[in-house]
C-alpha cells in the first residue's frame, strides 16, 4: 500500500477576517491535493494566526486570546471538515488550544471525508506550562485508521519520548505525523532527533511539519524556526541515513512525498536489525527492565589502597 503525504512548512499569517483565513487555508489545501497528496499535515499552533482578528489588547494577553479563540472553534472545525470532504483527503489541522472547562489542552483535530477526531498533546514545554496555562492531556492515544493507512499523531515535544510511539506502533501505526512549533534551531533539532529515533525504534515512517518565520504581532508564536522532513529506519533499501526527504529551513511550502508502507513490514521481518520486535519485549515485568544497584565503592577503595 502506498500513501502520499504532505507536510506544511507553514508561516503564521496575519488575516483580516475569518473569510480571508478560510480562503488562505483552502489555497494551501488545493496546492497539496493538486500534487497528489492524500494526507495533509499542518503544524502545531498554526491556528494561532486567528488571533490576528482580535483587538490589540486581546492579542497581547496570552490567557485572554485563548478564551476568545473558543468563539472561532466551531467555524474552524466546520471549515476543515468541509475541505476534507470537498477534496477527498485526510487533514491533520493546525493544533488549537481548546478550553475544556477544567483545563486547556493543545489539540490536533484529524478530519476525514465524513468525520473527525483528535489527539491532544501530553508533554508540555516550560512555556506552555509556566507562562501560557496549557495543560497535559488525559494521556489517551488515538490510532487513526483511514483509507490511506493507519497513523498516529505525536505533537511536537511528545515525539521526544518513546512510549507513545511504541504503543501506537504496537497498535498498528504505519507512520507517525509530528505537527510542531519551535522558536530556534535547537528546538527544531530536538523534535527532529526525536522523530528519527522513533523511526529507528519502531521501524515506521515519521514526518515532521513545522511553523516558520516571524509573527511579531503574536506573543505566543512570534518567532518560528522550522523545516519539514520524513524519516525511516536506516535499514533495508532505505537511505543510509534514514532521511527520505528534507526541506530547506524557513521556506514556506509543502513537502510532498509518497510512502510505500510495505517497506516497513519488510524490514520489521527481515531487516539487519529487528528494533520493532525487540521494543515489544520492553515490559516493566521483563528482566531486561529491572534495575539492580551494584556497589563498586569498596572495590575501588581497596584497589586504590593496594596501589599505594
230: DSSP letter: E
Q: Which pLDDT value is given to residue 302?
A: 56
Q: Which long-range contacts (CB under 8 A, 24 or more apart) does 22-25 make?
A: 22/79, 25/79, 25/80, 25/83
**pLDDT tens readout for residues 41-89:** 999 999 999 999 999 999 989 989 999 999 999 999 999 999 999 999 9
What percentage of the chain reaches a pLDDT higher than 90? 75
Q: Could you give the domains of the chain?
A: 2-275 (3.60.110.10)
Q: Which pLDDT value is given to residue 84?
A: 97
Angstrom distance (rounded) from CA 123 to CA 110: 19
**According to the per-residue pLDDT averaged within each range, which of 50-64, 179-193, 238-252 is highest?**
179-193
H, E, C per residue of 110-128: EECCCCEEEEECCCCCHHH
What percentage of the chain reaches a pLDDT higher than 70? 92
Supply φ then ψ for residue 294, to 5 degrees: -115, 115
Q: To the nearest whole number, what is the mean pLDDT of the chain?
A: 91
Angstrom distance (rounded) from CA 222 to CA 241: 33
Q: How far apart are the first and last CA of the chain?
A: 69
Amino acid at each position: 500500500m502506498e500513501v502520499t503525504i504532505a507536510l506544511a512548512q507553514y508561516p503564521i499569517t496575519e488575516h483580516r477576517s475569518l473569510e480571508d483565513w478560510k480562503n488562505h487555508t483552502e489555497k494551501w489545501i488545493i496546492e497539496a491535493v493538486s500534487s497528489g497528496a492524500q494526507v495533509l499535515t499542518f503544524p502545531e499552533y498554526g491556528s494561532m494566526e486567528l488571533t490576528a482578528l482580535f483587538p490589540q489588547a486581546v492579542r497581547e494577553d496570552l490567557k485572554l486570546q485563548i478564551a476568545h479563540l473558543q468563539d472561532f472553534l466551531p467555524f474552524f472545525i466546520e471549515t476543515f471538515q468541509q475541505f476534507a470532504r470537498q477534496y477527498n483527503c485526510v487533514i491533520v489541522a493546525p493544533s488549537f488550544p481548546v478550553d475544556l472547562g477544567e483545563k486547556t489542552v493543545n489539540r490536533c483535530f484529524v478530519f476525514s471525508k465524513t468525520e473527525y477526531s483528535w489527539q491532544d498533546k501530553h508533554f508540555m514545554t516550560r512555556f506552555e506550562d509556566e507562562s501560557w496555562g496549557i495543560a497535559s492531556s488525559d494521556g489517551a492515544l488515538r490510532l487513526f485508521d483511514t483509507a490511506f493507512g493507519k497513523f498516529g499523531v505525536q505533537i511536537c515535544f511528545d515525539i521526544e519520548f518513546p512510549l507513545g510511539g511504541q504503543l501506537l506502533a504496537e497498535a498498528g501505526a504505519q507512520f507517525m505525523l509530528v505537527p510542531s512549533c519551535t522558536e530556534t534551531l535547537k528546538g527544531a533539532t530536538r523534535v527532529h532527533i526525536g522523530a528519527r529515533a522513533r523511526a529507528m525504534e519502531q521501524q515506521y515512517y515519521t514526518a515532521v511539519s513545522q511553523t516558520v518565520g516571524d509573527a511579531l504581532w503574536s506573543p505566543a508564536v512570534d518567532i518560528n524556526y522550522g523545516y519539514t522532513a520524513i524519516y525511516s529506519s536506516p535499514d533495508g533499501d532505505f537511505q543510509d541515513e534514514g532521511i527520505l526527504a528534507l526541506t530547506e529551513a524557513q521556506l514556506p511550502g509543502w513537502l510532498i512525498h509518497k510512502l510505500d508502507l510495505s517497506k516497513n513490514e519488510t524490514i520489521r521481518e527481515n531487516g539487519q536489525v529487528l528494533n520493532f520486535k525487540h521494543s515489544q519485549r520492553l515490559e516493566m515485568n521483563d528482566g531486561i527492565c529491572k534495575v539492580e544497584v551494584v556497589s563498586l565503592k569498596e572495590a575501588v577503595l581497596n584497589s586504590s589502597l593496594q596501589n599505594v
